Structure 1
């Protein structure tokens, strides 16, 4: 198996890139070694994209920076206190971190020293599948035997699971997020039990860290199963301060092949936690969401309500005009998932509406205030009210009224 793994890694595009080979050449001097570690190795073995590359080395951080600059590479001390240097080669950033080992362990503030022992460095990491290293030639180094877990898609903590979580309680969320992204089968029982026992540690985490991890979890392929397990363990309520519609979210993710929006965190949060509008504000504050993310959630929630409250099903044109194409599709998917969860599926309507929304050209209201002023109407609040009444009439006509017909309806100013 090792030879086939080495072959797969050695043929990886990112490892053959001149930029990373230049980093290796710069760092690996005077007996020092460097190896890619973690996500890039794991993702390559599991046929996932590799968005970033982390490198571990025996060279001290100041030496890494000096050698990189001597080689004509850009070096930035992004985390010197943690031994991390960012080296930019061919416009791609590589994080290079000196091997470390714990001297004293007390949560995220553990005192560490830089070292040269690859196994001790591996034991500081979170999961066995993340403690895999590969050298510049594609040869795998597996100090803790994590390869089988990686290929078997088993997410297991390194060493004592409770102890690893106490070092950083965010590892509870990472356990579920890594599983949702890469895992198969049942969650590791030992890890799940530790997350359950240590769940109150989540209360110590900042909103930014929880929000960042939860957004990544919601985008993962097996998010629905992971969130159900989190909810069963009481972790969702601790993380969010509220309840969850797990069945609705299960139904939403069953539509992954129908619409890519089902993987978006904003829509997922609306489906999971948007019982009332106030829930959106709570979740946004809890996760420190951006204004853009908040706005999308609010639009999706409002579009969902419009679909549910309208006696006669609205047209794609009306929904697109009111909420934009993205907001209308989000609202439709939220209603569709609730319908599926309640065993009230009307697939023909939802599929047809989704197709119509995707193809819909959003109508543009043909009148402007200047058009009414040209007829003698005076600028001011009355003009604005008249313009809004004409817009409502235009919408109710299914956008059929022309500019000339709307002007006729406006009447001449007295």
Structure 2
């Protein structure tokens, strides 16, 4: 009953409060339409925003296709309230930014020459030609300001049937841009688990082409895949699992996902934590991955910290008598992540033990060390003395004594370390 009501509410929101009725969007389309008759179609929404609108999903990025070229777009918005950024001017893309929204506006184009990574393009005013150079039928659905669909590749039919299909010959589409292999994998996980034999063959035959793609683009697609709620089910489809493992051989521990499906609360499974679960072991597997994909330093530190403490979780004290100390040093997210990795990697750990540890982590309050340099000076320490060293000594004793220390003891330590 809940699922039916939820679907009904999503449909109601889509029909009565569509994204294309926002104030910013109306201004953008009015500006693009200026100088043309109302009958002339100058711009349409396309890609993910249309697909998500039709599926009742949340819309984050808004892409607009137009017959105008980049110079015309920039000129029209030069004195507007939108910030204009030439994000991909050589490919016909201009980004508009307002206080609340970001829009990518791209000139209709067709591919002239491709090399598996980039394409030489030619502008056009032909909507059909623009649709033919796109990757999948579900990404070639256009929507105008009045909510009217233009669907030259029959993408709405495939979307209704949860079918991810290349436009035209899969082999040709993949050879134009090898990143489409990973995008195909992402959309397959998102919408459907069946793969047509011809498409599967084309994907497998071109897997080496992924090596030509920049590691940054590949990593970005991987993180999008890890963000999908259906990713936990990848082991249920032999073909998808095989393709995923061939592209990302460093992610050794897909079998851990089967254990994760038992935890019920998936809100804890961020893409960073899932990456850690698939990577981390006692053999520094994460280091090779981090080097290969040149991952951001913040993510690199997150993985390294988890890996360094993984062995410690095998001791019962980590989630018991030492838990408060561990939360103090590493934070709750770190301990939650270790609890997840530990449960997913060790079949001997019962679900009730995982849940018990999680409950303790969530309920515990992180102790706060209240002593600072000013306090030390007020209690006898002179400026210029080793305040930092004394603070560390006091903090260590405070931690050792279950996060308790008396004022008298603090004064003793100050006196003992003031000479």
Q: TM-score when scaled to structure 2?
A: 0.82
Q: How does 1:155-194 map to 2 (within 5 A)?
A: 155-180=164-189, 182-194=190-202
Partner of 2:19: 14
Instruction: Check the 8 A contact 1:277/1:301 in 2, yes or no.
Output: no
SS at match of 2:331: helix
Where do 5+ consecutive residues of structure 2 fail to align? 1-9
Q: How does 1:188-227 map to 2 (within 5 A)?
A: 188-226=196-234
Partner of 1:117: 126
Deviations for 1:330-385, whole angstroms, at most 9, x for unmatched residues?
1111112223xx2x242232212212212221124577798699699x977xx959
Shift of 1:68: 3.4
Partner of 1:104: 113
Partner of 2:6: none
Shift of 1:267: 1.6
Relative to structure 1, is the Cα distance of residues 32 and 74 closer, same or farther in structure 2, using a 3 angstrom cutoff?
farther
Partner of 1:357: 361
CA distance in 2, matches of 1:385, 1:193: 67
SS at match of 1:94: strand
SS at match of 2:167: coil
SS at match of 2:313: helix
Instruction: Check the 8 A contact 2:281/2:307 in 1, yes or no.
Output: no
CA distance in 2, matches of 1:9, 1:131: 19
Instruction: Check the 8 A contact 1:170/1:202 in 2, yes or no.
Output: yes
CA distance in 2, matches of 1:335, 1:62: 55
SS at match of 2:106: strand
Instruction: Check the 8 A contact 1:366/1:402 in 2, yes or no.
Output: no
CA distance in 2, matches of 1:295, 1:401: 32
Partner of 1:324: 331
Partner of 1:337: 344
CA distance in 1, matches of 2:314, 2:225: 29
Do structure 1's residue 261 and structure 2's residue 265 form an aligned pair? no
Instruction: Check the 8 A contact 2:109/2:129 in 1, yes or no.
Output: yes
CA distance in 2, matches of 1:55, 1:212: 22
CA distance in 1, matches of 2:200, 2:300: 31
Instruction: Check the 8 A contact 1:58/1:115 in 2, yes or no.
Output: yes
SS at match of 2:65: strand
CA distance in 2, matches of 1:364, 1:68: 51
CA RMSD of aligned residues (A): 3.5
Q: How does 1:12-411 map to 2 (within 5 A)?
A: 12-28=17-33, 29=36, 31-69=40-78, 74-88=83-97, 91-180=100-189, 182-226=190-234, 232-233=241-242, 235-239=244-248, 242=250, 244-255=252-263, 257-262=264-269, 264-276=270-282, 278-310=284-316, 313-315=319-321, 316-339=323-346, 342=347, 344-365=348-369, 395=399, 397-399=401-403, 402=406, 404=408
Relative to structure 1, is the Cα distance of residues 371 and 89 closer, same or farther in structure 2, using a 3 angstrom cutoff?
closer
Deviations for 1:276-324, whole angstroms, at most 9, x for unmatched residues?
3632222222222211111222222334322114567534313212321
Relative to structure 1, is the Cα distance of residues 137 and 312 closer, same or farther in structure 2, using a 3 angstrom cutoff?
closer
Where do 5+ consecutive residues of structure 1 fail to align? none
Shift of 1:252: 2.8
Of structures 1 and 2, the one with the larger relative CO (CA 8 A, separation 6+) is 1
Deviations for 1:137-159, whole angstroms, at most 9, x for unmatched residues?
00111101110211222222111
CA distance in 2, matches of 1:243, 1:32: 47
Shift of 1:34: 0.9
Deviations for 1:120-171, whole angstroms, at most 9, x for unmatched residues?
1111111111111100000111101110211222222111112111111111
